A and B are shown apart, each in its own frame.
Chain A
């Protein structure tokens, strides 16, 4: 089960916002997918190879925190950056305790966003590398027996 190219997934119920931000990220050479609610987000994660999710905290239906919990339960290696308004910083803190990589205040500074995106990707890469190393060690051991 090896999915080829990896993506960023942008989740927000504000369609214009999702569109503009993905245009910007694409302009920077990123491969961006969009989802407009928690359900769509989980569906996309199932189908595509996603590295980082940028997730709005406040969404109708399944909110950001709930979505985050599900993401972390099913795809622990996917990094999540929370997007919050000023009234929902509390939720951002909670999100980070639940395993989100970091949070950004809306309207987020694009440079800051790309920085965090890269950091998140870096963390994931390191984690994946460690897992691979561990797997190799395990395989070596098994082959010796």
Chain B
């Protein structure tokens, strides 16, 4: 077989009303490793393409019913890339030109020479592959740019937020000590019979609680920023981490929370021993965060999945759920500090921000795909041991 295409055979739909010609051509093309379907009418061709698309349509111009040009125009409206090679009658240059104007790849005059047709088919196929590769490359570049923009924004946000946190810490201390001072005074024996004393105590107690909460947030924030700026991951704490064992450990730790709502966590691995060259404790922290998020997003009784994959260059940890999912607007902001959709006392919006910081710092990448009410997939990519 002389098929130069290394992957799948080229799918060709052959449309011609001359039965003998079509049968012979089909047989010959098939013998050359091309996957051929055939029909004698334009209407049928459109129907067949709707059922299963083809790469290339070889289309006769002169047919009863729908003619070739009309059929071509309709094919070109089908989404996705289908290239069309027109077959024209002998010396019907007019038809060929019209075909090309309507978007055909090229035309051949009958009688058709087989080698010539095969060459044209391959050229058309190359064009499809090239455009596809270009599209993929553009999408890849777009993704990378997107990630860079996000990263820059996160770093800027982190710097600003930590600056704010630092500045807020001092007034917080003043507030706390002012309230504490008044509490001390209220506790003195001479204040025993003060009117409405309990109201004062109540108010001071609230101030105290609120300051504690604010202090906790500034603390988390400063810690998060610290992990990703000053402490660029210390490679001396890097070891070869058995991802399977690490994932098992994370699952064991999250299981109590999951089992409360009868959610099971499954672990699958494409490799027998996937490993990464990284800091196990920090990675565990991220994994715990992702798992706990997934469990919280998942309905009672359903499942959360952890998949591991490793190549020579990189290791992937995928945490997937079929939970509530994340809306598009939220997805763009999910790694930002303080971004949360949980209630004020349920989450501070620091978890994924910290996770992002850790993974970035470990020289890895964390990405998310999600669809509302279908679920979310978080993918961590880490460098594997060289």
Q: Which residues of A contact B (CB under 8 A)?
A: 14, 16-17, 20-21, 23-24, 27-28, 85-87, 105-108, 110
Contacts and interface: CB of A to CB of B under 8 A. Distances in A.
Interface residues of B, number: 24
Contacts of A86: 165, 169, 218-219, 222-223, 226
B173 A107 contact: yes
A24 B170 CA distance: 17
B169 A106 contact: yes
7 contacts: A14-B174, A17-B170, A17-B173, A24-B184, A27-B185, A85-B222, A110-B176
A87 B185 contact: no
A45 to B, nearest CB: 24
- Looking at chain A's contact residues, the main secondary structure is helix
Contact of B170 (A23, A87, A106): A106
Given A20-B174, A107-B173, A85 B184 contact: no
B162 interface: yes
Contacts of B181: 20, 23-24, 27
Nearest to A15: B174
- Looking at chain B's contact residues, the main secondary structure is helix
Contacts of A87: 162, 166, 222, 226
B226 A20 contact: no
A106 B180 contact: no
Contacts of B215: 107
Contacts of A16: 171, 174
Given A87-B166, A107-B172, A20 B178 contact: yes
B174 A24 contact: no
Contacts of A105: 219
B177 interface: yes
A23 B177 CA distance: 9
Contacts of B177: 17, 20-21, 23-24, 107, 110
B211 interface: yes
B169 A107 contact: yes
Interface in B196-226: 211, 215, 218-219, 222-223, 226
